[in-house]
Structure 1
């Protein structure tokens, strides 16, 4: 079987979700081709095809269009089929031509499945799979379902009509997709994220004893609930328990969060670390006592899996799929979102009953090991295309 995986760029070697999928399919004898918008990374696992670039210089753009048009001549039947589908979709002539250009690398593909790794990447490419005689799959993730449709209502209407099978990373994602117009009869398979267990081995001797270490790994974005987390920590500070809070990540909310740290008098307790490599993240988690993910919503959240594997006490909100990731009272704590006072109270309780929660941390590690491993995930993806 020949499978085309469409991404914005090739996955790095630390992105185990995509790498394990590619390697697992290849090991089973399938051919996997990557189709990307930009190819800036050294990815040698398999063939990578890059989308045509859009240039600001009109002369360079015209030249590029001519080159790609010539390259599409051997595939003229696919192009004509694509144009007829685009016309039936009631897209303007200009948009149809633009879509032929931006999808040129896909229109030349010889695959059985064309799988878009994110729903947003499939926009303006919804007709490609049918045009080239392939089945179409799409993965639904947090940003696709929770954020993008807020600014672009009904953006997936055509996608739901064209897709043959949908991959969701949580049951919550399936519910969200249905609320956004996905047809009930569409085949759906839930394959959750997974982690490489061998990389996440906790060293309990690294845990800090004199000062509580708290961590969050997240893009600095309103949906991650970081402002509410800081408000909770300002309340928690009044309990006179020494702590330090590290936020790992970058994003548009940096200035707002930096101001909140100042306004809440948390400069000595909070570090906005920025981006970090996986090894540094593992080192920080090794020193982390409590991991917080107080998001408005999450598609699932790999970082929470990693924190549980690293023997952290995990406190999350009830936003999105987080209650699927953490079992409240069994593998961590799931509390109502948008209630900083409740988060502060929960943190205080975690400290006061630290020894009593050792069994919860053990169960969390075991659950991640048993249910969120790469071997199981790879097997599920093999089943997905059958």
Structure 2
């Protein structure tokens, strides 16, 4: 069976989110083709890669490339190009957009596959008919922002998709609920496959010990949806209470300047360190030297970093955002706090700091065992093999 996966860019070697899935499919005899808008890194043999033509930049060059791709599509992939044009026409897509769809999907129209799987919901917009045009079944994954935030800005953006998709992949039950909230009427099967981690790498044989240094850590893209300002506000409460701590944030993003200013306003610059993006080996080292992992997101599909922290035995406090309450079993493997409430978060952090050592040890042990039992890469790979079966 041949699977086509549509992504914004070719995943780099360190981006295990998709590469582990692709590796597992190949090991089970599937052929995998990646259709990407760009290819910044391709230093390893992941699978066959087809990159879309660049249609931005110099206007004259874009026109030439567009004409060439349009002629190429109708000369060498006439049937698929005609199918896409006809299907879009039936849907009432305007003529300029129909032509644009053929040009921008030239790399997909030229490759026969059994399944065309869009890695994010937003990747399918204006491509709802591409799978049928090439005679493939269509799957789409929803992971967080694409169903939790994007449809709020663009209401009913997926209505056309709901009529045409064959299977939907979600990473949590809350994401599944959001699919229904945004107009899904139940024609396609929705299958939950949670994220997974390398439990052989993120593993600690050592018994958890809270150092009492109150080293807190978060791994996150510096984006508003990660709730880092709320986290700062909670930590400011701890500082006023005279509780010493240090907070490390691993990750980069567009909000760095804003977050540094927020830390300054809350008088936390001495207590907060921004490391930028780090490699997995360094991330593991930072996690192992920490006491408490915080993921107080406003919106969060699931969060692999919370799984990694639990696997290493850290105590974890998360918000109620989407998949986080499935990632953590409240009061058993960590703690779940209502989102957007800095005071509640501060109270929970103080409560956890003051827990008896045996209670902390039990929570850490429960977390390690649950992650190693339910969130392994091998389990996830097998679930995706089953996903594509008839």
Give, in angstroms, the shift of residue 90 of structure 1: 1.6
1:259-301 Cα offsets, whole Å, 9 max, x none, are 1111111111011222222222111111110001111121111
Distance 1:171 1:92 in 2: 36
CA contact (8 A) 1:326 1:332 kept: yes
Query: Contact (CA 8 Å) 1:51, 1:104: kept in 2 or not?
Result: yes
2:168 is paired with a residue whose SS is strand
Question: Helix, strand or coil: the match of 1:7?
Answer: strand
* Superimposed CA distance per residue, residues 101-152 of structure 1 (whole angstroms, 9 cap, x where no aligned partner): 1111111111000000001011111110011100000000111011211221
Q: How does 1:70-85 map to 2 (within 5 A)?
A: 70-72=71-73, 73-85=75-87
Alignment of 1:209-358 (within 5 A): 209=211, 211-355=213-357, 356-358=359-361
Once the two structures are overlaid, the 10-residue window that deviates more, 254-263 or 207-216, is 207-216
SS in 2 for 1:37: strand
Unaligned runs of 5+ in 2: none
Counterpart-to-counterpart distance in 2, 1:237 and 1:204: 31
Residue 250 of structure 1, CA deviation: 2.1
Q: 1:223-264: CA deviations, max 9, x gaps?
A: 211111100000111332321001122223222211111111
Match of 2:63 in 1: 62
Give the 3 Å change call, closer, same or farther, for CA 354–306 of structure 1 in structure 2.
Answer: farther
Match of 1:50 in 2: 51
Once residues 359 and 250 of structure 1 are traced to their aligned partners in structure 2, the CA distance between those partners, rounded to angstroms, is 33
Q: Deviations over 1:32-81 (max 9, x none)?
A: 11111001112412110001111322321232123323432121011111
Q: Name the count of aligned residue pairs.
A: 386
**In structure 2, what is the equivalent of residue 371 of structure 1?**
374
Q: Is 278-287 or 191-200 further displaced after alignment?
A: 278-287
Residue 88 of structure 1 pairs with residue 129 of structure 2: no
Distance 1:58 1:260 in 2: 41
The 5 Å alignment of 1:186-205 reads 186-202=188-204
Match in the other structure for 1:33: 33
- How far the C-alpha of 1:205 sits from its partner, in A, is 9.0
C-alpha contact (below 8 Å) 2:113/2:136 kept by paired residues = yes
Q: How far is 1:206 from its partner?
A: 10
1:16 match = 16
Per the alignment, residue 180 of structure 1 pairs with 182
2:1 maps to 1:4: no
Instruction: State how far apart, in whole Å, the 1-side matches of 2:122 and 2:204 are.
Output: 36
Q: Is the 8 A contact 1:208 1:287 kept in 2?
A: no
What is residue 158 of structure 2 aligned with on the other side?
156
Give RMSD over aligned pairs: 1.6
Matched residues in 2 for 1:308 and 1:114: separation? 34
Unaligned runs of 5+ in 1: none
Verify the 8 A CA contact 1:204 1:286 in the aligned structure 2. Answer: no
Match of 2:383 in 1: 380
Cα deviation for residue 210 of structure 1 reads 5.8
Task: Pick the aligned partner of 1:362 from 357, 360, 365.
Answer: 365
> Any idea what SS the aligned residue of 1:98 has?
helix
Rounded to whole Å, the distance in 1 between the matches of 2:56 and 2:340 is 44
Q: Distance in 2 between matches of 1:155 and 1:171?
A: 21
Q: Structure 1: how far apart are the matches of 2:370 and 2:135?
A: 41
CA–CA separation in structure 2 for the residues paired with 1:2 and 1:302:
28
Asked if the contact 1:170/1:321 (under 8 Å) is kept, the reply is yes
Instruction: Please name the residue that 1:102 is paired with.
Output: 104
Length-normalised TM-score, structure 2 = 0.95
Length-normalised TM-score, structure 1:
0.96
Deviation (angstroms), 1:203: 7.1
Q: Which residue of 2 aligns with 1:134?
A: 136
CA contact (8 A) 1:213 1:288 kept: yes
Tell me, yes or no, if the aligned pair for 2:211 and 2:291 is still in contact at 8 Å: no
Deviates further, 66-75 or 335-344 = 66-75
